[in-house]
Amino acid sequence: MPEKPIPRSSRTSSSALSRLVLRMFPPQARYTPLSQKLISFWALLFITLSSVLAAESPAIRTNSNLALVQDIYKAGMDLVQRGLLDEAIQTFERGLNREPTHLVLLNAIGATYSLKGNKEEAQRHFLRALELDPQFEPARKNLAIAYFDSGQYDLAIPEFEHLSEKPEGKPVAFLFLGMIAENRRQYQKAIEYLEQSGNLAFQYPRALLSFAQSLYKSGQPEKSQLVLERLQATSNVSASDWLQAGVFYARLGEYQKALEVLNKVKQKDSQLPALDSPQTYVLDRLGRSKEGLKILQGLTDRDPDARTLNLLAHVAERAGEIDLSIQAFRKAAKLEPAREENYLDYSTLCMNHKNFPLALEIVEVGLGNLPRSYRLLVQKGAILAELGKLDQAHETLRSAMELEADHREALLSLARIQAHAGEFDDVVETIAAGVEKYPDDFYMHYYCGFVLLERTKRQGMEGEMLERAQRVLERAIHLNPTFAGSYLLLGKIYLDKDPKVAAGHLETCLRLDPNNASAKYQLGRLYLKMGKHKEGESLLSQVKGQRSQQAEEDKKPRIGLVRE
């Protein structure tokens, strides 16, 4: 019996945990605005440089009060370095009252306003300096950074591009252009810029995290992890930076490393509000769900909200606390009745426990509040298919497709229904069309590989089908190197033709998903054939008690597994 995927809205608990945590920490949110420490460093550096660079400016060279203004500048700078920003601004203003066109003072007061977070006043003074002298580079650098810090990337880009035309401005310009490109998900461009920034990308936590993210999204997880390791040698890493690094390690499947980093966050700032959820997720992935459950129960007791209750429900399910899971889902739905995840995840819990009538009832309640919810309709189609109501399932999925131009989940559900009906020629055609329509969707490629392997088992054509399955699974891994299911299927393909390669893929699968019974079973048998009897027997003993047929089958494919 082939295993049947359910739609993106239907997830296993672990995938929902991953989805929840990644949704709490969207990659682009880490870099806007830029770390205040980074802004502070550059602002102070440019203030200092301006006193030298501006010395040749005509606006200053003809200034008869130059010595007096320079004394005012030095006094203001001393106040800045002591953290007395308001007093520094007053000092610089006294100088500007005497010499309103003094470039150094205009730049200095603008930079000081940047340190205070007053972006409008900062930009006004930088623009005034550039109006007087367009070649005054310190003000241009600070203006570009001020635009960057306020999220005005369209204004920041031309300023940084102008700076990059001069050798001395290239490293700084490329550093910020790289972070902007990463924020806009232009990952390859971000890599090129950050590489051209030289060593600067490794000196500042936010830039380093941006570099790691770009490499990861470009299908280079090994390089991404190497870059991330450089954070250990970087100064001024805040608790928030370490938190993002911990989440990143979890995304890479390095759960033990993630836990170590998150423990470091706890030492730096144990009250950081965003720490509990990723810490719980990592503990859960390490098989320590009970510990994570205690953390989340304390959090929801103190400050209950729908998202955290949803996460609690998933961890409780994995810990075997089904009653607690149900209670948490119900509370989440009452707190936010217009939040579709509450109904999606609650109904998925029921589906996981084969209570399809209750799952359908929950989805219907959700559609009563959200009648045009694409994902709830896809979920309903999946449930109807499980109940054997295939015609109604088809009709529901067609309705869902009309709501969204990007309807890959509904397409995958349609393929599932075809597979359930044994229509393997149709399902191969459907999923092949999906791969063509969504060439960058890792799960579409993964499920295509799954379908091709199923067809091989049932209808033959082994050579052609296996080669095709191998190609799409390799592409799935390139698109998402942390999804365990792709390695499992690829390992099965290599079992006979290259046992060492098969073992490598199965080992990777277990590293990413330590509880994958199918991978343990396949790798255990393979180890015995390879003469590794101790290792093989250990793995097989872990799946003892499960029927061999069940252990050999793939985990049921779930359409929404960690799409992020």
pLDDT tens per residue, range 150-161: 889 999 999 899
Helix (H) or strand (E) holding 456: helix 442-459
* Residue 288 DSSP class: -
Look at residue 440 and give its three-state secondary structure: coil
Q: Which of 3-12, 16-25, 216-225 has the highest mean pLDDT?
A: 216-225
Mean pLDDT for the chain?
80
Per-residue confidence (pLDDT) for residue 545, from 0 to 100: 55
Q: With 60 as the cut, is the pLDDT of residue 504 above it? A: yes
* 518-538 tens-digit pLDDT: 999 999 999 999 999 999 899
Task: Please tell me the least confidently modeled range out of 26-40, 180-194, 389-403, 545-559.
Answer: 26-40
Phi and psi (nearest 5°) for 6? -120, 165
Mean pLDDT (whole number) for 199-224: 89
Q: What distances in angstroms separate CA 175 from CA 34, 203, 400, one per listed residue? A: 12, 11, 43
Residue ranges and CATH numbers for the domains of the chain are: 27-248 (1.25.40.10), 437-564 (1.25.40.10)
Look at residue 6 and give its three-state secondary structure: strand
Q: Which tokens is 248 given?
A: 């990143």
* 377-412 tens-digit pLDDT: 999 998 998 898 888 988 999 899 889 888 888 888
Q: What's the whole-model pTM score?
A: 0.57
Question: What is the dihedral sign for C-alpha 509, 445, 475, 344?
Answer: negative
Whole-angstrom distance, CA of residue 124 vs CA of residue 89: 14
Per-residue confidence (pLDDT) for residue 455, from 0 to 100: 82
* 413-429 tens-digit pLDDT: 888 888 777 777 788 88
* 21-75 tens-digit pLDDT: 333 233 333 323 333 444 444 443 444 334 333 333 444 444 446 677 778 888 8
Whole-angstrom distance, CA of residue 548 vs CA of residue 539: 13
Between 296 and 184, the more confident residue is 184
Q: Would you call the peptide bond into 33 cis, given omega within 30 degrees of 0 as the criterion?
A: yes
Q: With 70 as the cut, is the pLDDT of residue 363 above it? A: yes
Whole-angstrom distance, CA of residue 156 vs CA of residue 177: 9
* 313-341 tens-digit pLDDT: 878 877 788 888 888 888 888 888 888 88
Percent of the chain residues past pLDDT 90, beyond the cut: 25
Task: Please tell me the least confidently modeled range out of 58-72, 101-115, 122-136.
Answer: 58-72
CA dihedral 201, 206, 212, 214 (to 10 degrees): -90
